[in-house]
Amino acid sequence: MGRSKAAILDFSDADTFPKMLRRNYRKHGAGRTALRKKRYGVWRSHTWEDYYTHVRQFALGLLSLGFERGDKVAILGDNDPEWWYAALAAQSLGGVQYGIFVDCVPSEVQYFVEASDAVFVVAKDQEQCDKLLEIKDQIPKVRKVIYWEPKGMWMYDDSLLMDFQDVLALGIEYDRAHPDVFDEHVDRGDKEDIACFCFTSGTTGMPKAAMLSYRAFCGWTEKLFLYFPWSEGDDYFSFLCPAWGMDQWLGIGTSLMVAAVVNFPEKPDTIMADSREIAGHFQASGARAWEEQYRNLQVRLADADFIKRFFYRLFLPIGYRKSDLQNQNKEMAWWLKALYQVGDWLVFRPLRDKTGTTRARACAVAGAMMSPELFRYWRALGVPLYTNYGMTEIGLTVMESPGGMRVGSSGRVFPGRQLRISDDGEIMVAVDDQMFSGYYKRPEASAEKIRDGWFYTGDSGYMDEDGYLFFIDRLSELSTLAGGEKFSPTYIEASLRFSAYIRDVMVVGADREHVAALVDIDLGNCAKFAEKNRIVYTTRVDLSQKPEICELIRSEIEKVNKTAPEHSRVRKFVNLHKEFDPDEAEMTRTRKLKRGVLEEKYGTILEAIYAADQDSVEVQTEIRYRDGRTGSTATQLRIAKL
Q: Are residues 269 and 339 in the same domain?
A: no
Answer with the one of 278, 302, 320 that is the final residue of a domain. Answer: 278
Q: Is residue 213 domain-shared with residue 120, that is, in the same domain?
A: yes
427: in domain: yes
Q: How high is the pLDDT of residue 319? A: 95
Same domain, 571 and 499: yes
Both 353 and 238 in one domain: the answer is no
Specify whether 554 is located in the same domain as 412.
no
| Nearest CA among 442, 445, 474, 444 for reference residue 458 | 474
- Same-domain pairing of 107 and 181: yes
**Does residue 631 register a pLDDT over 70?**
no
In a domain, 497, yes or no: yes
pLDDT by residue (tens digit) across 298-353? 888 888 899 999 999 999 999 999 999 988 888 899 999 999 999 999 999 999 99
Lowest pLDDT segment from 129-138, 258-267, 491-500: 491-500
Angle between helices 306-327 and 334-343 (to 10 degrees): 140
The predicted structure's pLDDT at residue 623: 61
Mean pLDDT of 614-630: 72
Q: Of the residues 218, 251, 278, which one is the last residue of a structural domain?
A: 278
User: Are 572 and 468 within one domain?
Assistant: no
Report residue 4's pLDDT band, with 50, 70 and 90 as the boundaries. Answer: low
- Over pLDDT 90: what percentage of the chain? 73
Q: How confident is the model at residue 2 (pLDDT cuts 50, 70, 90)?
A: very low
Question: What pLDDT is recorded for position 18?
Answer: 97
The reported pLDDT for the residue numbered 530 is 92
Tens of pLDDT, residue by residue over 560-617, are 999 888 999 999 999 998 888 888 888 887 778 888 888 888 899 999 999 888 888 8
Annotate 439-470 with three-state secondary structure: ECCCHHHHHHHEECCEEEEEEEEEECCCCEEE
Helix (H) / strand (E) element for 364: namely strand 362-366
Measured between alpha carbons, how far apart are the two ends of the chain, in Å?
59
- 403, part of any domain: yes
Residue 524 lies in a domain: yes
289 and 382 part of one domain? yes
In this structure, the answer to whether residues 301 and 390 fall within a common structural domain is yes
**Do 240 and 339 fall into the same domain?**
no
Euclidean distance between CA atoms 118 and 128, whole angstroms: 16
Percent of the chain beyond pLDDT 70?
Answer: 96
Specify whether 129 is located in the same domain as 229.
Answer: yes
Range of the domain at 375: 285-432+457-475
For residue 452, tell me if it sits in a domain. Answer: no
Let me know if residue 447 belongs to a domain.
no
Please give the tally of structural domains in the chain: 3
Q: Which of 220, 254, 278 is the last residue of a domain?
A: 278
* CATH number of the domain that residue 570 is part of: 3.30.300.30
**Which CATH number characterizes residue 160's domain?**
3.40.50.12780
pLDDT digits (tens, 9 = 90+) for 68-88: 999 999 999 999 999 999 999
The answer to whether residues 307 and 250 belong to one domain is: no
Q: Which DSSP letter does residue 587 get?
A: B
Q: Model-level pTM?
A: 0.90
Q: In this structure, is residue 161 part of a structural domain?
A: yes
